[in-house]
Structure 1
């Protein structure tokens, strides 16, 4: 009887192991529907050529005209990040926004340009002098508007702060006018006139830049070098 029970238990264990192994090997991730913003290759090509025809030559002509050393300007046609950087960036801004108890509404892509200099005003090295670039800024809803934001920390408390907030003196003057006219001090909301760095806190920028720009080197997907 004991031998039969042992054989039966061994058989059941084998079947369980087999089913478990099959379940693991046949598991597939759920299918993801394409975002509605996906466009066709043909449409992308038409948009790329439109920019080539209506913007590239104008930008080059202007930049060449103000070049003191006679150097020829090459307009930027694209900026790229590796996939791991994008994943890490999304994880980081979600982490920081969660600290401040705010929801990220959109990612805003700003067209921008590097100065014709070796360094920025704050001393950071300019990676691509004179070149066009982009930077990415997460946004939140604030007073019924969609605005870019950073996260500030003061005494262990995290707050989402609009990028375009007034400077501290403007905030103080505005609050004083409100108090004088209403007899009450209105809440400043996300506008923080205090110097968080002086209080042992700090500000966390959520802006992504320093991508790889092209050209050069050129690796064009749309059939020309413009």
Structure 2
């Protein structure tokens, strides 16, 4: 009976310890707002302007080329998506990645162009695709040396961002 009492006491103490260890809501014990960590790659607005201006020559070549004449203000230089659309796309892409056997770990933005319609060249667009790693093992002894994530094959992308005003406007708009 003495051993049974100690066993029961051990179970109760263990359950209490696990409750406080696993189920303690950290957000209720912290004071103040959560810490915001800036992601890698953050640039200042001044650097964004430098990058945008450095693209001017390429944009001019595209707009001035014989096959790219446009009467509606030139080719696009930017795309805009609502935060809600981006969040919904991330949720959709993570779900689809799981269905396709991947673990999504990022997004890649591509430059593209709409096809020629009625002899009029299509304008530049930007679209976003999810990237990730296959959930299947590929047998490497050094998985961290395999490089960055690739595009998730067969996954949907996000397009139909809104162009700048006018389409060829520089940063900031």
TM tier, shorter chain?
Answer: 0.5 to 0.7
Tell me if the contact between 2:110 and 2:127 (Cα under 8 Å) persists in the aligned partners. Answer: yes
The alignment status of 1:117 with 2:109, answered yes or no, reads no
Alignment of 1:24-103 (within 5 A): 28-52=32-56, 54-62=57-65, 65-66=66-67, 71=71, 74-103=74-103
Deviation at 1:72, TM superposition (A): 6.4
TM-score (norm 1): 0.50
Tell me if the contact between 1:76 and 1:215 (Cα under 8 Å) persists in the aligned partners. Answer: no
TM-score (norm 2): 0.63
Instruction: State the structure with more CA Rg.
Output: 1
Q: Which residue of 1 aligns with 2:150?
A: 147
Tell me if the contact between 1:138 and 1:148 (Cα under 8 Å) persists in the aligned partners. Answer: yes
Once the two structures are superposed, residues 66-111 of structure 1 have per-residue CA deviations (whole angstroms, 9 ceiling, x without a partner) of: 368x846602111010000011111111122233442113211111
Deviation at 1:222, TM superposition (A): 3.2
Tell me if the contact between 2:75 and 2:167 (Cα under 8 Å) persists in the aligned partners. Answer: no
**Change in 2 beyond 3 A, CA 1:36/1:45:** same
Relative contact order (alpha carbons < 8 A, sep ≥ 6): 1 or 2 greater?
2
Tell me if the contact between 2:73 and 2:168 (Cα under 8 Å) persists in the aligned partners. Answer: no
**Change in 2 beyond 3 A, CA 1:87/1:130:** same
Counterpart Cα distance in 1 of 2:82 and 2:91:
15
List gaps (5 residues or longer) in structure 1: 1-23, 119-128, 150-161, 164-204
**Change in 2 beyond 3 A, CA 1:74/1:215:** farther
Aligned residues: 133
Tell me if the contact between 2:77 and 2:169 (Cα under 8 Å) persists in the aligned partners. Answer: no
RMSD: 3.2
